[in-house]
Chains A and B, each alone.
Chain A
Amino acid sequence: MDAIGGCSQAHKQELEKEGLEVVTMDFARPETMTKAFEGAYGLFMYTTPFECPEEEVQYGVDAARAAFEAGVRHVVFR
């Protein structure tokens, strides 16, 4: 795993040293989102059409659905 959401391996190790759990998540693979959201209290989700105009809707819908299925208690979609 080279990068986690734009996060480098070095950064990952740094975060883990702080006691944070870092998990992989890929908008294009909804199953990774459900797994990543498990046990999380909240999700702050932000989509824009600028980076991926064709996929924004699918990504947003999949992320919201994954949060719902994973039992996330509080979602803020901005």
Chain B
Amino acid sequence: MLHGQRLRLGSVTSCSGNAISEASNKTFVCSPASTLPNLTAASEGRFNVPFFSNKAAIEEEIRKLEFARTTYVELGLFWQNLYEWTPACFEGDALIIAAPISGDAKMPFVDVRDLVHKLFILFYFFLNTITGRCRAQNFRECPRVQQRQVTKMQIIEGKKKKN
């Protein structure tokens, strides 16, 4: 049923726990949990993110092998990673992040604290391409996300680089 399909956890509301067990109980399953997009290709070469792009390159080759059944599981990101890996800061109760993610990208997020309680809370938001105007100067002063109550997210819109 799931052969060759992408099982996107978090963004497919009908995807229940049963679907996951069904997928993982199949005899032939190749399921890269780290199914990640090729950001180098997505950004037309502007950004090289080996952690993503290498996985995408491997997945491409796995697709050529004729496994009887393959499932590609896309998990939501731990949104705490936004704080750890991208320039981010707080303004009041809003978390402000800057990330090189283009246009109308939709992203599923998982709160690591909810994961502990086996509950997924998903945050969707639209990101604009940001290259310069992030408030990185406040980055180091921000307390850890885990200690904060965040009620909303904001994206600072930056100027696109002119080639």
Contact = CB atoms under 8 A, between A and B. Distances in A.
Interface string A41-78: 00000111100010011001100110010000111111
B28 A57 contact: no
B32 interface: yes
A68 B32 CA distance: 15
B143 interface: no
Contacts, number: 59
Q: Is the interface of B mostly helix, strand, loop or mixed?
A: mixed
Contacts of B62: 61, 64, 77
Nearest to B49: A49
A77 B65 contact: no
Contacts of B29: 74-76
B61 interface: yes
Nearest to A64: B62
20 contacts: A49-B54, A53-B50, A56-B54, A60-B58, A60-B61, A65-B61, A65-B65, A68-B65, A68-B66, A68-B67, A74-B27, A74-B28, A74-B29, A75-B30, A76-B30, A76-B32, A76-B33, A77-B32, A77-B34, A78-B34
B8 interface: no
Contacts of B67: 68, 75
Contacts of B66: 68
B31 interface: yes
Contact of B58 (A53, A68, A73, A77): A77
A64 B58 contact: yes
Contacts of B142: none
A52 B67 CA distance: 27
B54 A64 contact: no
